[in-house]
């Protein structure tokens, strides 16, 4: 797939977001200019999920969090070229951003797709999913809100699901049905496309925050 030529920084500004300094919870209405529900993707990579969802669901606001600046700008270019405006992208550590900048009970869904498994034992501390991160996902969800997870690493999937079960009161829902893509952009993420074209299994889970 051809890499899109990056637009000038000033053209990307409508979708770029600076993390609050000092950290403080974001006011979604102020940020997006409306009261539409908000969904967050932590670790959006090259932005395929956001490209598809922001165009398909204009009635939802999306916030993407990514620790790498080059991926923030790459994805911003893809979104701006498509005229997408219901999205903001922030360069930040997702673990800290959820904790410090997202108000409790303010989000309709959190999406975490193909997080880096950090294979080496000495690097496990870099993994996105910790007990605290699982707790923060639960905290920011509104009642009835959902946490969506996917990975192609079975061992890491087991660690994640066990951590959620032990650290939160989120209720597991039936996993989503794996759809057959109709074209090369009709995948959840670039990682899903690569895994499925190689014939690898993808492990998925959805959790719901209770309404009481």
Please give the positions annotated as active site. Answer: 116
For the chain, the residue count is 212
Show Cβ contacts of residue 90 under 8 Å, excluding neighbours closer than 6 positions.
16, 17, 18, 19, 63, 64, 65, 66, 72, 97
DSSP, res 194? H
Which residue carries 């190689």 as its tokens?
198
Phi, psi at residue 140, to the nearest 5°?
-80, -20
Angle at 136 between CA 167 and CA 191, to 5 degrees: 95
């Amino acid at each position: 797939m051809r890499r899109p030529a990056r637009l000038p920084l000033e053209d990307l500004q409508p979708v770029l977001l600076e993390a609050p300094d000092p950290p403080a919870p974001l006011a979604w209405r102020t940020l997006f200019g409306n009261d539409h529900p908000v969904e967050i993707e932590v670790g959006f990579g090259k932005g395929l999920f956001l490209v598809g969802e922001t165009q398909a669901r204009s009635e939802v606001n999306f916030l993407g969090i990514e620790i790498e600046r080059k991926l923030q700008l790459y994805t911003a270019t893809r979104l701006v070229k498509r005229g997408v405006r219901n999205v903001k992208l922030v360069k930040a550590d997702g673990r800290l951003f959820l904790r410090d900048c997202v108000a409790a009970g303010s989000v309709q869904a959190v999406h975490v797709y193909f997080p880096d498994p950090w294979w080496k034992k000495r690097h496990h501390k870099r993994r996105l999913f910790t007990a605290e991160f699982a707790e923060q996902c639960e905290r920011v969800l509104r009642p009835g809100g959902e946490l969506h997870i996917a990975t192609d690493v079975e061992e890491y999937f087991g660690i994640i699901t066990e951590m959620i079960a032990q650290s939160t009161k989120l209720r597991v829902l039936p996993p989503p049905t794996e759809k057959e893509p109709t074209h090369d952009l009709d995948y959840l993420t670039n990682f899903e496309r690569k895994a499925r074209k190689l014939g690898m299994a993808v492990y998925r889970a959805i959790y719901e925050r209770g309404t009481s």
